[in-house]
Chains A and B, each alone.
Chain A
């Protein structure tokens, strides 16, 4: 396309704020209505290749996801492995009662909720920001090196990460405290404090997962036509405006999808990290559903209770997904279904 057309695309896209500017001129929104003109059977035949392609995946989901799905009902039974699913006694809402009334439900819920919010507010945007920054790097070598370095923490297990946190933060010779001490300050008991627990956990996640999280966005950014930037520059846009009007829209739908999916696992905090960070002094803010279930359930082989808690979390996640998908569509985004 000519230079002039690129200008048009860039300007029009900026005005309309549409997600994918390369499709601005090409996209037609009319497929669904056009399709309904022919009968279902005709469409099935016309699209038969698509259905063939769909088949293996469908089979997979049916066999490996839906066939075992009855396991969800373990939440309503007292599951004994040797009795099997059918013979295990049915107990109705017993486990849910235990969860809601006999545990510290509100504490667990608040702890889990707050950590989840910290995660979405402080962690979620960072891979986006970092990938945008990486995208702006002009020196290819620096870009590649940094890309390769920042995702390394993802591969360290939590055992290692918490171990490193200990080395840095303990009051007994930890690096950070030694530094504070030498500067004349008072040592801070990071690891044994209610106040520091949440920031610390969130910080650890940021450190460990931000780099890895940029990969998806970088893949999305790879599809952006560099000439659009040229067109924008000619129009006098500075770097920030270029990012705002070209780069960001290119990854907008990816961001929305990831956000919706993240909400689906909203109450999942990640067991291992929290478990390793928990101690007597921070349990009040640190005990979350996943760690609670562990102490009660799995180690004693009590599957029913952990399944019940998992079910509760999933239902909340489902509600959030439906809600956020609906909202996304309202705002003109694609949504996940």
Chain B
């Protein structure tokens, strides 16, 4: 009987891994195309269309992107708002999520309803813009860090994660004389590292992709994050689609196809590098050891 169980288990493992590998391939192949394309010549991209490896290697696309003097500067801006922004996000979101996760807090339900309401109904671009303006944040980095400080969606899920922690932990801490804030900092947060890692990633990606808000709130183009630059390149390379404002748009010669690919690679790479660092927080059994009586 023992042998049968492990055979079934092995078959399961095999099929499981096989399917997952197939899925991974399906997702990665187009990306390989993009990477290959970024190193290919215009000629090859035009004639062959889809390639997985360039026969003629070329760094022109990257040279073009790096030749823009603003790249490094806007990269710096983006890194800054991503790091600082994410810190603010996690701080604000977790801080608010914990009281809402506690069943003994009186105003839980009304506050939750208030938050959910904002997920569904919003004042819109111009009223929000006016608020930001009245707070004096226009043309400063604050406009990119504060108005999006808490995502209701993330808040609700983090609260849900906090709720799943066993209450016995909090109770024993209280008996030891901790107040709620200390429980939060010393017990809840460390045990919630998977959730915090996850939402740090989510928030970070959000900041990394900041584009529209930067244009809306920041007039000084020296302060623009990198996505503004990258998006302009992609739009130009696509023949100007998305340019809905001009009936006859400005006739600009689009940069080469490879440039569009290189832009994607550059947009994706940094986050790709971040994720593996966060993965260790998804290790199993984080709660292990804490519940043992």
A–B contact with Cβ pairs below 8 Å: the answer is yes
Residue positions of A touching B, CB distance < 8 A: 1, 20, 22-23, 26-28, 31-32, 35, 40, 43-44, 47, 49-54, 56-58, 60-61, 63-72, 74, 79, 81, 85, 130, 133-134, 136-139, 142, 144-153, 155-157, 159-161, 163-164, 167-168, 173, 175, 207, 210-211, 215-216, 218-227, 233, 236, 238-240, 253-254, 257-258, 261, 264, 276, 298-299, 303, 307, 310-311, 314, 317-318, 321, 334, 336-337
Are B12 and A239 within 8 A (Cβ)?
yes
Q: How far is the CA of A23 from the CA of B166 in the complex (A)?
A: 6
Chain A proximity of B156: nearest CB distance (Å)? 5
In B43-61, the 8 Å CB interface with A consists of 49-50
Chain A residues with CB under 8 Å of B260's CB are 160
Chain B proximity of A329: nearest CB distance (Å)? 12
Are B160 and A334 within 8 A (Cβ)?
yes
Contact of A215 among B9, B13, B19, B198 (CB under 8 A): B198
Known contacts A43-B106, A53-B99, A147-B279; A155/B27 CB under 8 A: no
Contact of A225 among B50, B118, B288 (CB under 8 A): B288
Residue positions of B touching A, CB distance < 8 A: 5, 8-9, 12-13, 16-17, 19-21, 23-24, 26-28, 30-31, 33-34, 49-50, 92-93, 95-96, 98-100, 102-109, 111-128, 130-131, 135, 146-147, 149-150, 153, 155-157, 160-161, 163-164, 166-168, 179-181, 184, 194-195, 197-198, 201-202, 205, 234-235, 238, 241-242, 244-245, 260, 264, 267-268, 271-272, 275-276, 279, 281-288, 291-293
The 9 A-B pairs of least Cβ separation, nearest first, read A57-B96, A71-B123, A68-B123, A71-B127, A68-B127, A337-B112, A49-B180, A219-B194, A50-B99
Q: How far is the CA of A80 from the CA of B260 in the complex (A)?
A: 37
Known contacts A159-B234, A219-B197, A336-B116; A74/B124 CB under 8 A: yes
Contact of A152 among B113, B131, B272 (CB under 8 A): B272
Chain B residues with CB under 8 Å of A334's CB are 160, 163
Contact of B130 among A63, A68, A79, A138 (CB under 8 A): A68
Q: How far is the CA of A156 from the CA of B114 in the complex (A)?
A: 34
Contact of B131 among A63, A136, A318 (CB under 8 A): A63
Chain A residues with CB under 8 Å of B272's CB are 148, 152, 155
Chain A proximity of B282: nearest CB distance (Å)? 5
Chain A residues with CB under 8 Å of B95's CB are 53, 56-57
